[in-house]
Amino acid sequence: MPELPELEVVKEFLQKELVGQTIKYFEVLKPLVFRNLIPQDLKSALLNKTFAHVDRRGKFLILSLGSEPHLVINPMLSGRLYWSPPEEKRAADTFIIFGVSGGRELRYVDPKTMGKVYLTNELSLVPGFALQGPEALNVSREEFRERIKRYRGEIKGAIIDQSFLAGIGNAYADEILHHARLYPFLRRPRLSAEEVDRLYDSIQAVLDEATSRVRAQMGEEIHLKFREELKVHGKKGEPCPRCGTPISEVKVRNRATNFCRHCQPGIMQGRSRRLASAALPETGKIKPK
């Protein structure tokens, strides 16, 4: 799933390349992911309209055509944007194409058909948009301390909750918690004041470093993932870069959590332990990987 670092760099790229260009043609090849939230038909709403601004809010990209309407893209698990010459072969899961005056096409591709593209005059009509908390890289330490007090569950669940902070998903949550040396399934009320501050510092450090790294690598390949340098997420069985312990993986509700049992010690409790145990064969015990 694209998260804040990738989407921020895609936003920067499109702000530079797309703004000022006019939609000369468009195709909705598969309408399943497209939602028209305005009364106009698509042709009158889009054709010959010029992109005026590109922004990001959490895990949404906002492509504005003047003051309105807006194309709002929520890529979810596998949605990607391609910046392609028209003659380049289209990916099999291409859903929407915008041909612009500069001669390129902006294509929305989504192999798992989970993302959505909305056309709207009001951003608040986009599901989930208005419920987002402050941007993860913009929240102050004081506001972070106050906001986190309301959460009673596991700390990873808090930091991927978009109403708490906008922009963090599963992958960078694992990286943040490893950086902070915090057990992902630790209940928030058990965090000390020092650990809350450490978590805040890790959010800022990990997301800032990742954004800079992706910015240096991406170029025009805005559809690619740049996560080879992640330390724990997706690294099951590989050595922890800090201590060498094999990285563990626990799956709860089809969401994998990767962490180091030496650097991030803890004991899974309650409902998450039961869910994880139910997914294991025979013994039902959570074993180090």
Count up the domains in the chain and report the number: 2
Q: Mind spelling out the 3-state secondary structure of the chain?
A: CCCHHHHHHHHHHHHHHCCCCEEEEEEECCHHHEEECCCCCHHHHHCCCECCEEEEECCEEEEECCCCCEEEEECCCCCEEEEECCCCCCCCCEEEEEEECCCCEEEEECCCCCCEEEEECCHHHCCCCCCCCCECCCCCHHHHHHHHCCCCCEHHHHHCCCCCCECCCHHHHHHHHHHHCCCCCCEHHHCCHHHHHHHHHHHHHHHHHHHHHHHHHHCCCCCCCCCCCCCCCCCCCCECCCCCCECEEEEECCEEEEECCCCCCCCCCHHHHHHHHHCCCCCCCCCCC
Of 125, 157, 190, which closes a domain?
A: 125
Q: Kindly state whether residues 74 and 198 are assigned to the same domain.
A: no
Whether 59 sits among the annotated catalytic residues: the reply is yes
Q: Kindly state whether residues 58 and 120 are assigned to the same domain.
A: yes
Residue 52 maps to which CATH number?
A: 3.20.190.10
Pairing verdict, β 80-84 and 70-74: unpaired
Q: Kindly state whether residues 211 and 93 are assigned to the same domain.
A: no
Tell me whether residue 217 is in a domain: yes
Catalytic choice (59, 104, 107, 156): 59
The residue segments making up the domain with residue 237 are: 141-278
Q: Which residues of the chain have pLDDT under 50?
A: 278-289
Catalytic choice (141, 255, 271, 274): 255
Q: Kindly state whether residues 107 and 164 are assigned to the same domain.
A: no
pLDDT of residue 283: 33
Q: Kindly state whether residues 79 and 196 are assigned to the same domain.
A: no
Whether 127 sits among the annotated catalytic residues: the reply is no
Q: Kindly state whether residues 179 and 81 are assigned to the same domain.
A: no
Whether 194 sits among the annotated catalytic residues: the reply is no
Tell me whether residue 133 is in a domain: no
pLDDT of residue 268: 78
Q: Kindly state whether residues 43 and 83 are assigned to the same domain.
A: yes
Of 125, 160, 179, which closes a domain?
A: 125
Q: Kindly state whether residues 145 and 273 are assigned to the same domain.
A: yes
Tell me whether residue 286 is in a domain: no
Catalytic choice (3, 6, 8, 17): 3
Tell me whether residue 132 is in a domain: no
Whether 11 sits among the annotated catalytic residues: the reply is no
pLDDT of residue 281: 40
Tell me whether residue 134 is in a domain: no
pLDDT of residue 253: 80
Catalytic choice (2, 5, 69, 75): 2
Q: Kindly state whether residues 46 and 111 are assigned to the same domain.
A: yes
Q: Kindly state whether residues 118 and 182 are assigned to the same domain.
A: no
Q: Kindly state whether residues 157 and 255 are assigned to the same domain.
A: yes
Of 92, 125, 158, which closes a domain?
A: 125
Tell me whether residue 289 is in a domain: no
Residue 164 maps to which CATH number?
A: 1.10.8.50
